[in-house]
Structure 1
Amino acid sequence: MCQARLKGASIGSTEIEFIPGKLSGGQYIADTMTAGSISLLIQVSLPCALLAPAPVSVSLRGGTNADMAPQVDYMGEVFRYMLNKFGGDFSLDVLRRGYYPKGGGQVKIEVTPVRCLQAVDVTERGDLRGVHGWSFVAGTLPIGMAHQMANGAKQGLRNICNKVNIEVYKEDRSMAPDNCSGIILVGEMTSGCVVGSDGLGKRGVEPIEVGRKAGEELRKVLESGACVDSHVQDQLIIYMALAAGKSTVKAGEITLHTQTAIYIAETIAKTKFTITPCGEHNLIQCTGIGFINNNLPPA
């Protein structure tokens, strides 16, 4: 997408050099060739696509619901709404599910570039409007596992939310032929903030425990008073650095991923982030560089 050159990318190399070129719009394909996370491909491609000179369409292949990364549904149901606050957006279409170890998932995203990202103030959460989500199984796994995960999630959220609506379903074999189970939870606030959590079924772990852990993770975010969850927290750093003006985000405990993202943003963009403890949460602040996409005319 940025016509880059890469040096030193070989087995045993201890150093690589990445030299970006000029951004271009158009159609692209990225294939992990494994069950590698499609959500992570979305994370790295979106900033470039949003500041490209023309619309961008990207076909992504790999794992749609992978461990150690947000499930692709989270990207569309949580991350997208937080990106909207910066003035960016994308469409996401899941064409086929891909799970570990085979992969084979296919997702298409389409992005309309913006001239400049706007600073955000995400410090007022408002009241919890409700929690909704999806509990699924695929392949030969029984639907009862999805019901157990949903019940576990409700146990984890007990006494914090009376309105919990979790859809339980089995993926169509034409969409997802391989075995997998998982749950995605989304909490909506009256302020427009959205927080989430998710979990994947694992061998040796009871489905009810998978759901309970996802519910307790969301409960922790809701009780902390934070406006963003730990999964979206680090993803916002690059947009805060590029935006025009001062951004403030109320987060919970600062994750290692966020600390790393801040270090990279400060090194490359020469911005300065501050983290101010405030009770059970932290305020992340940054005055962005106000990057202008000169390929687009002023509004």
Structure 2
Amino acid sequence: MAAPTLKYEGCNFFRQRLILATLSGKSVKISKIRHKEDDPGIRDFEASLIRLLDKVTNGSRIEVNETGTSVLFVPGLLSGGSIEHECHVQRSIGYYLEALVCLAPFGKKPMKAVLRGVTNDQTDPSVDIIKNVTFPLLRRFGIDEGLEMKVNRRGAPPLGGGEVLFKCPVRRKLRPMQFTNPGKIKRIRGVAYGMRVSPAAPNRMVDAARGVLNKFLPDIYIYTDHMRGPQSGKSPGFGMSLVAETTEGTFLSAELASNKPGEEPTVPEDLGKQVASLLLEEIYRGGCVDSRQQSLALLLMTLGETDVSKIQMGPLSPYTIQFLRHIRDFFQLMFKIEVDKSTSNDDMDQAERLGGDKVLLTCVGVGFTNINKTIL
């Protein structure tokens, strides 16, 4: 007997719902998508996401009504393999990569994806953050050998022109994880990039960021990546991503990109200071994963073996809170959430406590098995 179709309304968390539907094998119907707006229905970047999901699955059925305000998605089996995809420039490649990162380990074949579009923008995680923060998190769950990403070309909005190669191995099962001690910050690494702008712009951002961060930590290295010619995409732009690493292997990140051409010009020094401040704020929030990686960590814990997984996080983002509700809908699994008492001890000094109260999230994995992976 087929499982009943899950029904939702509105455009919020559209990608989240399609990803969980694909992994759980449950059909999902999303209606009233921007139905009250002058331009109703799904946007071009959401249609591009649907096409991408169709490429990485085998046998999916997708029905979109004439106005685009209703989408029925009946997922097929994850196939993986080699794909190429033109990402819509309304969202960066990171928007689509986040979806592939969730799905690729459970395909029939290891994934090799070439994505083209915008590599760095102000909305989605850049390819740098996914490589330097998301990948270490995947390795904690046993997704390691064969995991690779290469930036062939960078592309800034609005025209993009970037290209990224993403490779991911397949796994039959994920190992459970106990990660409750984030450790102390030991070093900061980063990249300042520029496309079709003066080579001095990345250096100016680095100097400004170091002016803030050197008061906090001496071990800082930010390298510059100034793309030229065909590798610099079709639009000018610059930006910076920073990653703080702890003694226990926690990675906390922050990033910013310049405004699009035609908008108010961005000053490199101001952007460098802002990114440094955002990183310090992320460090203050604390936890074993940064706020952008919370939902991925919870998903991998959910799909792990039927054993206890536990993780400490800083304050949960609204996106993560909704993600927990969706995990309950698609996998009938609920997390135990409690305030981590060890971080609210009055006897600890401020440096040890680092930020406000943290939360501990505990679950027993559903024992998800990749039935597509051939048993050798």
With the length of structure 1 as denominator, give the TM-score of the two structures. 0.92
CA deviation after TM superposition for structure 1 residue 78, in Å: 0.8
What per-residue deviation string (whole Å, max 9, x for no partner) do you get for residues 40-91 of structure 1? 2111122322011222211212211022111111100111001111111421
Aligned length: 297
Paired with 1:133 and 1:45, the residues of 2 have a C-alpha distance of 24
Matches within 5 A, 1:180-199: 180-199=237-256
Equivalence for 1:208: 269
Task: Show the counterpart of 1:5.
Answer: 61
Match of 2:323 in 1: 261
> Residues 153-172 of structure 1 correspond to what in structure 2 (within 5 A)?
153-172=209-228
Does the 8 A contact of 1:234 with 1:255 survive in 2?
A: no
* 1:31 counterpart = 2:81: no
Separation (CA, whole Å) in 1 of partners of 2:64 and 2:232: 38
Shift of 1:205: 3.5
User: Residue in 1 aligned with 2:148?
Assistant: 91
Could you list the runs of 5+ residues in structure 1 that have no partner in the other structure?
none
- Matched residue, 2:44: none
Structure 1 match to 2:194: 137
Aligned-pair CA distance for 1:225? 3.6
Which residue among 297, 301, 305 is the counterpart of 1:236? 297
Identity %: 25
Distance 1:45 1:258 in 2: 18
Two-structure CA RMSD over aligned residues (Å) = 2.0
Q: Aligned residue for 1:247?
A: 309
Partners of 1:208 and 1:287 in 2: how far apart? 47
What letter matches 2:326 in structure 1?
A: I
The 10-residue stretch of structure 1 (199-208 or 125-134) with the greater mean CA deviation from structure 2: 199-208
Are 1:221 and 2:282 an aligned pair?
Answer: yes
Contact 2:102 2:296 in 1 (8 A): no
Superposition TM-score, scaled by structure 2 size: 0.74
**Would you say the 8 A contact 1:249–1:284 is kept in 2?**
yes
Q: Map of 1:22-61 to 2, 5 A cutoff?
A: 22-61=77-116
Measure the CA separation in 2 of the matches of 1:122 and 1:239.
13
Cα 1:9–1:101 change in 2 (3 A) is farther
- Structure 2: which 5+ residue stretches go unaligned? 1-55, 345-355
1:223-267 deviations in Å (ceiling 9; x for gaps)? 344221112122222212111222222222211111122121111
Q: Are positions 1:276 and 2:338 aligned together?
A: yes
Give runs of aligned pairs for residues 112-131 of structure 1, distance below 5 A.
112-131=169-188
Look up the equivalent residue of 1:64 and give its one-letter code: T
1:158 Cα deviation from its structure 2 partner: 4.1
1:1-56 Cα shifts (integer Å, max 9, x gaps): 2221111254342x321101122132122222425211121111223220112222
